[in-house]
Amino acid sequence: MQHGKYRFIVGFLIAPLALYAIFVIWPFIQSIYYSFTDWTGLSSDFKMVGFDNYTKMFDDDIFWKSLQHSVLFVLLLPLVTLALALFLAFMINVGGRQRKGATITGVRGSGFYKIAYFFPQVLSIAIVALLFQFAYNPESGAINAALSAVGLDNIQPLWLGDPDLALWCVMAVLIWSTVGFFVVLFSAGMASIPKDYYEAALLDGADRFTTFFKITLPLLWDTVQAGWIYMGILALGAEAFAVVQIMTVGPGGGGPDYSTTVLPLYVYQTAFRDAQAGYATTIGVALLVVTLSFAAVVTKLGRRERLEF
């Protein structure tokens, strides 16, 4: 009987595991292999160069700039996005004033706010980047026009053309485009928490601040931790790459003066603009290490006793 059970399980697992190995594991192995070659990506001719690509990477100033920007993204974007999403979700579900017949309610119009916050999710990230590229235009953009309308004509930054501001402008777009998803996610989690917990806390004299940190956050911790990892992967992956490439100046994006270049974009530029696919895969391996390290650290630091209700 046991033997038949295991055959049944293996029969269901073998196909998805084979597909995962072919389309996920094997490309990783290939990338590590090509990182030890001088492959241009344009021909099938290449030779092994040992650790030359890694030595070049450690001496590459642009790589270190890109790594610095990616680390900044992965540290700040999840922190700001999730904190803002938790606050908004809490106000939508629990933060309203006491009304007749209901002790725990969200703010008025909470249903509309959910739709408004989630709206950026229905837009392609490319469309979002283009819209904000126009908005940041120093001559005809909506942001400088709004500053002029309120009498702040003397404050007309170049935004994406300023090396000191460009990276922060990109981060603001990523926060705006992703916070709505987590508002809806956390709202769903908060809606499942029994209202009795909040009512008992309010009867004991707890304020909204206390109920958030003593009830809401502990019971949502698993969701927050998963969201933190997911947001970090977005900050290190396609979302950051697309926004930086589309919005910023310079050949292939990343400007001005590499002030917004992130690791995924540098991989793309090295492989397709500079025809150095072997070196690009080396940078890709570094990106893989950063991503896995981030996920491991968040999982380790966020581990706590599971609370159930």
pTM of the model: 0.86
User: 158, 176, 145: which is closest to 257 by C-alpha?
Assistant: 158
Delineate the domains of the chain, giving CATH numbers in brackets: 60-301 (1.10.3720.10)
Amino acid identity, residue 86? L
Task: Report helix, strand or coil for 102.
Answer: strand
Q: What is the pLDDT of residue 102?
A: 52
- What is the DSSP code string of 271-297? IIIS--HHHHHHHHHHHHHHHHHHHHH
CB 78 within 8 A of CB 235: yes
Output the pLDDT for position 212: 83
Range with lowest mean pLDDT among 42-46, 97-101, 225-229: 97-101
pLDDT beyond 60 at 18? yes
CA dihedral 24, 25, 30, 31 (to 10 degrees): 70
Q: What is the spatial distance between Cα 242 and Cα 245, in angstroms, rounded to a whole number?
A: 5
Half-sphere exposure of 3 (CA within 13 A, CB side): 0
State the Cα–Cα distance between residues 93 and 205, nearest whole angstrom: 19
Pick from 61, 66, 94, 75: nearest CA to 192: 94
Q: How many CB atoms lie within 10 A of CB 39?
A: 24
Q: Identify the pLDDT of residue 284.
A: 92
Closest CA to 88 of 108, 120, 113: 113
Q: What is the pLDDT of residues 155-211, one digit of tens each?
A: 888 899 889 999 999 999 999 999 999 998 898 888 888 878 877 877 777 777 788
pLDDT at residue 204 in the model? 77
Q: Residue 222 has what pLDDT? A: 86
Q: Which residue has the tokens 């040992």?
A: 50
SS3 (DSSP) at 48: strand
Model confidence at 2, pLDDT cuts 50, 70, 90, reads low
For position 85, what pLDDT does the model report?
A: 92
- Listed in sequence order, the DSSP H helices in 94-165 are 110-118, 125-135, 142-149
The whole-angstrom distance between residue 159's C-alpha and the CA centroid of its chain comes to 22
| 253 or 109, greater pLDDT | 253
